[in-house]
Amino acid sequence: MSHATPLPVSPLPVSIVARGPLRGDVTLPGDKSISHRALMFASLAVGRSRIEGLLEGEDVLATAAAMRAMGATIERDSDGVWQVDGVGVGGLLQPVQALDMGNSGTSTRLLMGLVASHPITATFIGDASLSSRPMGRVIEPLTQMGADITASPGGRLPLMLRGLTPAVPVEYTLPVASAQVKSAVLLAGLNTPGITRVIEPVPTRDHSERMLAGFGAELTVEEGPDGRIISIRGEAELQPQDIQVPGDPSSAAFWLVAGSIVPGSHITIRNACMNPTRTGLLQVLRMMGADITDTSARTVGGEPVADLVVRHAPLTAIEVPADIAPSMIDEYPILFVAAACATGRTVARGAHELRVKESDRIATMAAALTAIGVSVTEHDDGLSIDGSGGARLPGGAQVASKLDHRIAMSMAVAGLVARAPICIDDANPVATSYPAFFETLDALVRATD
């Protein structure tokens, strides 16, 4: 299989030192999951959609580039509003070159679903981190629908997908809790005659269902004996929309923990998405004793939103309920940092999915925390962490981010409560989801200088 190889980027080491309390307001970047979907669905609508608050990180820009390559017109106005002229369901064009997904697993898996039911062939490539992540969980249902997929060994990128039209509608039960797999099957079903159904035994984030219904897809969600049943009628005609993207709760997570563990901190986080499938970390931090209040509850773009106020408070170790995992799967790395500062031993398990994220987040965080002097026990599905009881962490080590943005940001937060600097070997991946992270951190510290 011929493909282009993405150019390597020189590492960007960053050293973080404790600098006092964090105070001020945080304006969150747009939610990454919703931003991806807004671009994709607008590209499949007939007419012009308008998107405000889009996350302009590298992952979302990879989605925009891929949709342009398949025929959509996507432009950013000078005021930061994005205009998308869609090609209609069934109207995707053959891309001339390989689709470079960078570090974005969401882009890759959802776009595989879109291509699967269109009469085009697309080659997906990505960076070293993405190319190490298995795609078999998406390949399986899309193959059942008729797509012809040739992947690299282990079901990895580079990968070539030949879509089939008409594709075959399926009823697919998710073997693992994955919103990406669910969404990929639903998106393939958009251009498939008849009804495509996904059964999820464990509920996952429901942004695809909410937004597809908003664009006019005929979609139903009901409870069945084996879990939630999401059904979508194919050969849909999506209508253009004006979309407001709320703030990303996964980005808010870093400030929720930083505000909780750095003495004297008082942070207000504006416009955070409060979708109940995304608030697991908030629940867990409150169980640990965090002082977090939500105010100004409202609805933005069909999603519940609020402002969150976090103040420093002593945290107490807990056993994290395993059934919360799907609603906080991206937040486990920063939860591990909170646990490192709590009193007692925190046990956080039930998160097998962490093994196949941008890095093996269980092993990577275990290694990073151990390097800075935290006592950690690694399990196949999580970590047990002995907390410092609120005392500063030892620090004084270099840690490996493994090309994972959430590892880099989590260890940056750990550096705020370390006795000696923590050096992160490469902060470049932070740009995939939160380009202004370090700038925001500096502003929160400066507010108390």
SS3 label, residue 368: helix
Annotated binding-site residue? 419: no
Q: Using an 8 Å Cβ cutoff, are 197 and 170 in contact?
A: yes
Beta strands, E only, 1-81: 14-16, 23-27, 48-52, 73-76
Q: Using an 8 Å Cβ cutoff, are 172 and 195 in contact?
A: no
Interacting residues of 206 by C-beta distance below 8 A, sequence separation 6+: 179, 221, 275, 277
CA distance linking residue 133 with residue 180, whole number of Å: 13
- Residue 151: strand pairing partners: 159
Q: Using an 8 Å Cβ cutoff, are 249 and 278 in contact?
A: yes
- Residue 228: strand pairing partners: 200, 223
Annotated binding-site residue? 270: no
Selecting among 59, 307, 330, 426, the annotated active-site residue is: 330
Annotated binding-site residue? 32: yes
CA distance linking residue 227 with residue 246, whole number of Å: 28
Cβ contacts of 64-68, under 8 Å, gap ≥ 24: 64/39, 65/99, 65/100, 66/95, 66/99, 66/101, 66/107, 66/111, 67/39, 67/40, 67/43
Angle at 167 between CA 74 and CA 43, to 5 degrees: 10
Structure token digits, residue 246: 């709320």
Using CA atoms of 334, 340, 345, 348 in order, give the dihedral in degrees to the nearest 10.
20
Annotated binding-site residue? 178: yes
Annotated binding-site residue? 37: yes
The reply to whether 330 belongs to the active site is: yes
Annotated binding-site residue? 388: no
Annotated binding-site residue? 33: yes
Task: Kindly list the catalytic residues.
Answer: 330
Q: Which residues are annotated as a binding site?
A: 32-33, 37, 105, 133, 178, 180, 330, 357, 361, 406
Q: Which residues are annotated as a binding site for 3-phosphoshikimate?
A: 32-33, 37, 178, 180, 330, 357
Q: Which residues are annotated as a binding site for phosphoenolpyruvate?
A: 32, 105, 133, 180, 361, 406
